[in-house]
Amino acid sequence: MNTIQIKDSIEQLNRTIHQFKKNNDLRLDEIETKGGIDPLLEEKVDKANAAISTIEQQIKNFMIVAARPGASSDRIDDTVTSKAFEKYLRFGDFSELKSKAMSVGSDSDGGYAVPEQLDSNLENFLYAANVMRRLASVVKATTSDYKIAVNTGGLAAGWVGETDSRPNTATPQIEEITPPTGELYANPAASGWMIDDAGFNLESWLMTEIQNKFSSMEGGAFISGSGVKQPKGILRYSSTTAEDDTRPFGTLKHLEAASATSFTADEIITFFYDLASVYRGQSAFVANSKTVAFLRKLKDSNGQYLWQQSLSADQPAMLLGQRLEIDENMPNIAAEAVPVMFGNFAQGYRIIDRTPLRVLRDEFTLKPFVQFYSTKRVSGIVHDSKAIRLLKMKA
């Protein structure tokens, strides 16, 4: 990681935030005193706001690059397994591979599991690049029929004295739910000349190609995936305005803004406190860059900004004291859209990695190129619908 670049970006960010707040304060004063805004002042605020988003993304990109394979070393560990895997990638020779990962049938159908370090590199990159992987709970499944046991009826309890009898409580309603699963795939191709070049880092190139594709596909699925041959995204679940103790399991709660095109600081504060306090301790806001730019302008009744700058390069900015994550897969502010989510996503959403990364070498389909068909099975599901809130715009 280039620490000088990060340091320079943070200093630039601090200057830009200072200028943004100065101009935005003037903008809010004009709205209050004159009922309107000087277009030139509005332009200054918007430019500074956009610059903040750009610089924050630059810092985030530095952190993502640091998670790529090759950031700390050029090649994977010099082990028997890694040498055997490289031999398979370059020459198609799988005779030395010890660890197979077949989907069905034979080795040629299923491909081979990448060495553990490369699979770990992929996990680290996806964690850095994917908001929901950082916020949700992530588990590895050891069976193909992974299920989650959930209590859909609540747990009854009561108080008794030391010698009092213990009456029976209502029986919990336990159900098993099966997370929707899909298989991510990428099929990068390299020329024979590239592969024959001993100086070409084939492992690093392949992992970078896979990471770019997988991170984009996963990110969208965890937010809005249909649940058919892919994870079910949070925004695909039904939602109502009903309270936690009256909604059916699997139905989220949304709060509706008074406008279809904007929301107020008071609405964001109400949105924040609507989540039960037991969940708020490890909660986070999620929105895209355009919505975050709108949130930066909001002040509470005491004149304090709801948005606060991040205290370190590897942490996001804050909103009402909770982390504010930028996920470009979230919708823009528009009628009936859900531009902001808030919740304890570790409690509310679960990601299940079902298989390690597999690679199948194919030198015949796209001659003279060699393709590397790469697959990974992933599930995603809401398993506690009380832990997540949606801010929905008016129709």
Least confident of 56-60, 116-120, 168-172, 207-211: 168-172
Q: Residue 34 is encoded by which pair of tokens?
A: 């004159």
pLDDT band at 110 (very low <50, low <70, confident <90, very high): low
- Residue 237 exposure: Cα atoms within 13 Å on the Cβ side: 30
Q: Residue 229 is encoded by which pair of tokens?
A: 């041959």
Average pLDDT of the segment spanning 234-239: 97
CA dihedral 232, 327, 131, 20 (to 10 degrees): -160
For 117: left if phi > 0, alpha if psi spans -120 to 50, otherwise beta; the answer is alpha
Buried b (16+ CB within 10 A) or exposed e, 331-366: bebeeebbbbbbbbbbbbbbbbbbbbbbbbbbeeee
Average pLDDT of the segment spanning 11-33: 87
- The pLDDT of residue 276 is above 90: yes
pLDDT 10s digits, 286-323: 999 999 999 999 999 999 999 998 877 667 899 999 99
Distance of CA 124 to the CA centre of its chain: 13
Helices in 35-175 by DSSP H: which ranges? 39-66, 80-91, 107-110, 116-129, 131-135
Q: Is 192 helix (H, G, I), strand (E, B) or coil?
A: helix
Domain boundaries, the chain: 78-161+168-288+327-395
Q: What is the rounded CA–CA span in Å between residue 98 and residue 347?
A: 38
CB 211 within 8 A of CB 128: no
> Higher pLDDT residue, 206 or 163?
206
Kindly state the percentage of the chain with pLDDT values over 70.
87
pLDDT band at 222 (very low <50, low <70, confident <90, very high): very high
Q: Return the closest-CA partner of residue 393 out of 235, 219, 226, 247.
A: 235
* Homologous superfamily of domain range 78-161+168-288+327-395: Major capsid protein gp5 (3.30.2400.10)
- Which helix (H) or strand (E) segment holds residue 368: the answer is none
